[in-house]
Amino acid sequence: MPINHRDDKRRSVLVIDDELINREILKGILQEDYEVLCAGNGKEALEIIRENRNTLSLILLDLIMPVLSGKDLLKILKEDNETKDIPVIVMSGDQNSEVECLDMGAIDFIPKPYPLKGVILARARRTILLSEDRAIIEETERDPLTGLYNYQFFNSYCVQYDQYHPEDEMDALFFNVNRFAMINDRYGRSYADEVLIQISESLKKEFDGAIISRQEGDSFLVYCHHRDSYEKVMEDIAAFLPDKVSLRLGVCSDFMKDLDSARKFDRARQAANLVWHNMNTRIAYYDSKMYEEELFAQQLIEDFDDGLRNDEFEVWYQPKFNITGDLPVLTSAEALVRWNHHEQGMISPGVFIPLFEENGLIQKLDLYVWNTAARKMKEWKERLKISVPVSVNVSRLDLYDPNLVKNLSDLIREAGLSAEELLLEITESAYTEEADQIIEKVKELRKLGFLIEMDDFGTGYSTLNMVSRLPIDAMKIDMRFVRDAFQKKGDTRMIEIIIDIARYLGVLTVAEGVENKTQLDALKELGCDVVQGYYFSKPVNADEFEKFLEEKMESLCEEQL
């Protein structure tokens, strides 16, 4: 049975009155339910209060007393942080003092002569309960480290403010500490906590009167009246913090009147994410352009299922050539998805792929691409009598799907393909989270005969130890390395390192983004096995890719002759 905080012990009540008969009357009324202390004047009462400040639940205070009056005592109590929260009920025959005492901080007013016993008990009980509830709320509504509101209360207060001040122009600010995890790891928890406290104090100073919250460890939310610029604010806060600590800020101003405060902060966070890795810009503003992009993204999400049903998604193919011999030989292709939207026309995969990865739709899209590619491979195999392996992308979310192995096994069985004909491309960054779980899943796929290509190698920050135990059959060199290596001041050392790692692991290397003969010749000289890129072909639709298959068929026939 849970403990009821209201029933665990008798509360202490202090009765302050210079008339003995009044003290005895009140003591007789209260002592059945409470431990009752008494004082005959304000000075005596102040001593008792200071001795019992942590256990007193209520003070009943007469106004007219010798030595120290009730009003003077009330003023002292409410100006002292250690006693200001003890609830006080004023007792007096002077009805004109009621409003003044309530303004000074009294909770209630009991007139003299005293009302019925039940009325006094009810008011005492109600005052104590309300005070204890308020104390619990004040304790739980604040972050214990910084004293700022936690998010639930913060959001409620923002909503309440908007409700009663609909005409005020309010800005939602999202502050985040750059590389806070590194600060925590390098300098320790105590130092990191001190940083958070310093940030909270600087925010209180900069935004006096605003509603402020600490959220998710190193994030801070501020709801304040609109300002045209926050550059000076960021400068002032930076001056308050250690040199090794910096903040980024996302701002959603009041230009969108129909947004509630919670959605404003979502957009402020989106804006802050734009300057996550930007060392030159610390502030980003959510503006009408971002809003239009968000609406567009939402439209794409809503149109996704219809797009699948109506075959708006097209699978294109980019040929890959083996360059280890005298002449490049078509060896496989990469399946790439394009969206021919019914209203927007061709949409770049750079727009919708990250969006679908973020909200989980990528799994449905991947399955669609796998099935479409497998059906087309089956058609080519039956009609053209030729088989060329096709690689398909397997996202990080796919790898967490417990049905992944079954789905891929069913797919190749129904298409009459072997596992080696459907190459699986897994981006390097997928291995860096839950590495052991991912590696076990990939090992299971390889046991069934699937070949694994690590995509975007060199961009996922894998350790060499991790790379050495990854179950892969090929490494794909990211096109950025190829592009940078052949710029004016570029060099090929990074590519050489990747090829050396691949040789050490006994796996093939595939270079993306090969655009000219100079790059092709250099990669061949370095020992790269397979290349793809615009030098041979951009991604093309299935009909266009058949031309490469026909050329391969002709070369095979010539070899047989």
Predicted TM-score (pTM) of the model is: 0.62
**Is the separation of the CB atoms in 57 and 128 below 8 Å?**
yes
Q: How far apart are CA 171 and CA 98, in angstroms?
A: 40
The contacts of residue 153 (CB under 8 Å, 6+ apart) are: 140, 141, 142, 213
Question: How many angstroms from the chain centroid is the CA of residue 256?
Answer: 23
Sign of CA dihedral 461, 463, 466, 472: positive
**Is the separation of the CB atoms in 221 and 174 below 8 Å?**
yes
Q: For tokens 């796998």, name the residue.
A: 370
**What does the block give as tokens for 32?**
């059945």
Q: Please provide the size of the chain in residues.
A: 561
Q: Among 373, 363, 421, 370, which residue's Cα sits nearest to residue 395? A: 363
CB atoms within 10 A of CB 160: 12
CA distances 441 to 24, 456, 463, 471, 542, Å, are 80, 20, 20, 10, 31
- Residue 341 is predicted with a pLDDT of 94
- Residue 398 is predicted with a pLDDT of 92
**What does the block give as tokens for 366?**
């991947």
- Residue 489 is predicted with a pLDDT of 65
- Residue 306 is predicted with a pLDDT of 95
The count of C-alpha atoms lying within 13 angstroms of the C-alpha of 441, restricted to the half-sphere facing its C-beta, is: 23
- Residue 250 is predicted with a pLDDT of 92
pLDDT digits 0-9 by tens, 330-345: 999 999 999 999 999 9
- Report phi then psi at 322, rounded to 5: -80, 125
- Residue 242 is predicted with a pLDDT of 86
- First-to-last alpha carbon distance for the chain, in angstroms, is 90
Cis peptide before 242 (omega within 30 of 0): no
Give exposure, 87-124, as e/b (b: 16+ Cβ within 10 Å).
bbbbbbeeeebbeebeebebbbbbeeeeeeeeebeebb
Q: Among 212, 97, 73, which residue's Cα sits nearest to residue 153? A: 212
- Residue 137 is predicted with a pLDDT of 66
CATH architecture observed for domain 151-286:
2-Layer Sandwich (3.30)
DSSP 315: E
Range(s) within the chain of domains with CATH label 3.20.20.450: 296-560
Indicate the CATH number of 12-140 among 3.40.50.620, 3.40.1160.10, 3.40.50.2300, 3.30.1490.20.
3.40.50.2300
Q: Among 475, 443, 439, 480, which residue's Cα sits nearest to residue 457? A: 475
Q: How far apart are CA 307 and CA 312, in angstroms?
A: 5
- Nearest 5°: the CA angle 479, 483, 486 is 140
Please return the burial class of 322, using the count of CB atoms within 10 Å of its CB with bins 0-12, 13-18 and 19+. Answer: middle
Range(s) within the chain of domains with CATH label 3.40.50.2300: 12-140
Q: How far apart are CA 422 and CA 452, in angstroms?
A: 9
Reduced to 3 states (helix: H, G, I; strand: E, B; else coil), residue 539 is coil
Q: In what order do the strands lie in the sheet with 12-16?
A: 35-39, 12-16, 56-62, 88-92, 108-111
In 70-150, alpha helices (H): 70-79, 98-104, 117-140
The contacts of residue 107 (CB under 8 Å, 6+ apart) are: 87, 88, 89, 127, 130, 131
- Report phi then psi at 409, rounded to 5: -65, -45
**Is the separation of the CB atoms in 268 and 252 below 8 Å?**
yes
Question: How many angstroms from the chain centroid is the CA of residue 92?
Answer: 56
Question: How many angstroms from the chain centroid is the CA of residue 483?
Answer: 33
Reduced to 3 states (helix: H, G, I; strand: E, B; else coil), residue 65 is coil
- Residue 513 is predicted with a pLDDT of 93
- Residue 3 is predicted with a pLDDT of 32
Below-50 pLDDT ranges, the chain: 1-7, 561
Sign of CA dihedral 327, 332, 337, 338: positive
Question: How many angstroms from the chain centroid is the CA of residue 489?
Answer: 38
CATH architecture observed for domain 296-560:
Alpha-Beta Barrel (3.20)
Question: How many angstroms from the chain centroid is the CA of residue 377?
Answer: 41
Q: For tokens 């009041």, name the residue.
A: 254
pLDDT digits 0-9 by tens, 95-149: 788 888 889 989 898 888 888 889 999 999 999 888 877 776 666 778 888 989 9
